[in-house]
Chain A
């Protein structure tokens, strides 16, 4: 695979997780010139992070499903698609031009079709002390395990809910590491709303996997269900976690507090292009409006995988293939001999999505962990804006997240709202007593990732661009 970049491609896929790898393999196999751009040092996305380089590849620590990532990487390699890792996409335009930064140099390339496969990020978990060293997300700790074989030391406490939390707990136990406690935050009433969807979930491949995982962790770790009012306590480093369970306030000494409240689509890039999004009242997040092939409101731009709405790694793959297949039909009609049939992809997607409604309801995070009750809790980690400040801004007339920027700089730090956006939307909606959709989101603009001025300045300039700013 050559790593010299061209300036034009048929298909540019952004993100080398399951959806991106699968989409690119389909389009490249049909003879379309395909490039996959990915920010991480090696392919796999977050779910198969470091799958080609993990020091644990020969062990059973990470489990069998992790190996699926290797199949996808091999499939991509055989397809002839060009994979470019360690490359940041900082802009995509409506004209399908992609701005990238690679080895400290900026570059522009164009494509006839673009697939955004930017995956998911962990939902913000705004509680007192969540910015303290010693507190990180479960996903972050799992990345350290996958890519570097690192395990947390001392008193390790996991808090939150969702499949990833249980998977990581099982992986830690596989690795011989110990967990002091798991503070489970699943609200009791979630079970009631999930029960009608249980029969479908029984048919899901995730059912038996999940059940075995839960049983194994529950046998070996102290589980504290119904944890509320969780707070990280410490001065310059976490020392303890404080919470309420069964009406009792408990304090546990902690060295590592790992937080998780599920995942949400990573929509920054799609939003910056102007792709239309809608608030998903079940998954409690913004999701791009797209058809079954991932086609969005902008011609030529498709979304696939968790970035199009949380669906899990196996479904993400199928969504990637469907997006790829549609592009093959559009651009290379007739050269689809090797492509999977649309019908078989749909079947496979259905198989992996069956029972999703159960998981979405069971693991819907409680309001108190999405919208902090305590006014002193930091909501925007970058600009250190508290829930109380946001509430006050609403009271004096601020209507939405975008306007909030000029009130408080909230969402204007380097993370560009990734770690506060969902909280801010829901917090402002609750304070105004309107739906999140009515409150909206930050207006996002490129560059969606930081790029140095020197890099921007080194980009080739067209005559038109020059004459637009130069006065004779």
Chain B
């Protein structure tokens, strides 16, 4: 679990993760917003279905893959949040069918 430091200004971008509305700070990546909102994981693995969470936060481990606005396998640690974004946690190999 991660929390925002008090020194950090108010959050102001609204997005949805699995339908749940969350607030993020402009400049957050989707992975950061997800962790800040209390999500413990972002996907289940393709092989065993184990829960996975962002691991490297720099675009190399691919454990933070999610579905963003209908496109699966996006590296959430590289994509900045945008107002109205719809994020789905990724389940197994394929993105969930809308």
Answer yes or no: do A and B interact: yes
| Chain B residues with CB under 8 A of A39 | 59, 78
Q: Is the pair B60, A149 in contact by a Cβ cutoff of 8 Å?
A: no
Interface residues of B in 52-77 (CB under 8 A from A): 52-63, 65, 71, 73, 77
Q: Is the pair B57, A136 in contact by a Cβ cutoff of 8 Å?
A: yes
- In the complex where A56-B8, A59-B7, A150-B3 touch, is A139 in contact with B58 (Cβ < 8 A)? yes
| Chain B residues with CB under 8 A of A50 | 27
| Chain A residues with CB under 8 A of B47 | 383-384
Q: Is the pair B52, A131 in contact by a Cβ cutoff of 8 Å?
A: yes
| Chain A residues with CB under 8 A of B48 | 384
Residue of A whose beta carbon sits closest to that of B33: A148
| Chain A residues with CB under 8 A of B46 | 382, 413
Q: Is A191 an interface residue (CB 8 A)?
A: no
Q: Is B22 an interface residue (CB 8 A)?
A: no
Q: Is A122 an interface residue (CB 8 A)?
A: yes
- Looking at the assembled complex, report how far the CB atom of A45 sits from the nearest CB atom of chain B, in whole angstroms: 9
Interface residues of A in 22-79 (CB under 8 A from B): 39-41, 46, 49-50, 53-56, 59, 61
Q: Is A135 an interface residue (CB 8 A)?
A: yes
Q: Is A266 an interface residue (CB 8 A)?
A: yes
| Chain B residues with CB under 8 A of A144 | 2, 32, 35, 57
Q: Is the pair B56, A139 in contact by a Cβ cutoff of 8 Å?
A: yes
| Chain A residues with CB under 8 A of B28 | 147-148
Q: Is the pair B65, A86 in contact by a Cβ cutoff of 8 Å?
A: no
Q: Is A178 an interface residue (CB 8 A)?
A: no
State the CA gap A211–B52 with chains docked (Å): 37
| Chain B residues with CB under 8 A of A139 | 56-58
- Looking at the assembled complex, report how far the CB atom of B42 sits from the nearest CB atom of chain A, in whole angstroms: 8
Residue of B whose beta carbon sits closest to that of A46: B58
Q: Is B25 an interface residue (CB 8 A)?
A: yes
Q: Is A140 an interface residue (CB 8 A)?
A: yes
Of A54, A121, A384, the residue contacting B45 (CB under 8 A) is: A384
Q: Is A272 an interface residue (CB 8 A)?
A: no
Interface residues of A, dominant DSSP: loop
Of B1, B32, B62, the residue contacting A153 (CB under 8 A) is: B1
Q: Is the pair A450, B73 in contact by a Cβ cutoff of 8 Å?
A: yes
- Looking at the assembled complex, report how far the CB atom of A377 sits from the nearest CB atom of chain B, in whole angstroms: 14
Q: How large is the interface on B (under 10, 10 to 19, 20 to 34, 35 or more residues)?
A: 35 or more
- Looking at the assembled complex, report how far the CB atom of A258 sits from the nearest CB atom of chain B, in whole angstroms: 11
Query: Which interface residue of B8, B48, B58, B71 has the most chain A CB atoms within 10 A?
Result: B58
Q: Is A237 an interface residue (CB 8 A)?
A: yes
Q: Is the pair A53, B52 in contact by a Cβ cutoff of 8 Å?
A: no
| Chain A residues with CB under 8 A of B33 | 148
Q: Is the pair B1, A55 in contact by a Cβ cutoff of 8 Å?
A: no
State the CA gap A153–B73 with chains docked (Å): 28
| Chain B residues with CB under 8 A of A86 | 78, 80
Q: Is the pair B57, A143 in contact by a Cβ cutoff of 8 Å?
A: yes
State the CA gap A448–B59 with chains docked (Å): 12
Q: Is A317 an interface residue (CB 8 A)?
A: no
- Interface locus among A219-227, A342-350, A396-404, A414-422: A414-422
Q: Is the pair B8, A122 in contact by a Cβ cutoff of 8 Å?
A: no
- Binary B-proximity of A120-163 (CB < 8 A = 1, otherwise 0): 01100000000111111101110110011111111000000000
Of B2, B77, B78, the residue contacting A152 (CB under 8 A) is: B2
Chain B residues within CB distance 8 Å of chain A = 1-5, 7-9, 25, 27-29, 32-33, 35-36, 40-41, 45-48, 50-63, 65, 71, 73, 77-78, 80
Chain A residues within CB distance 8 Å of chain B = 39-41, 46, 49-50, 53-56, 59, 61, 86, 88, 104, 121-122, 131-137, 139-141, 143-144, 147-154, 175-176, 236-237, 255-256, 266, 381-384, 413-415, 418-419, 449-450, 452
Closest 10 CB pairs of A and B: A149-B8, A140-B57, A133-B53, A414-B62, A143-B57, A55-B8, A150-B2, A148-B32, A384-B47, A133-B41
28 A–B contacts from the bound complex (CB under 8 Å) = A39-B78, A41-B27, A46-B58, A53-B27, A55-B5, A55-B25, A55-B27, A121-B56, A121-B60, A133-B40, A133-B53, A136-B54, A136-B55, A147-B29, A148-B28, A149-B8, A150-B5, A150-B36, A154-B1, A236-B50, A237-B51, A256-B1, A266-B60, A384-B48, A413-B62, A414-B73, A450-B73, A452-B71
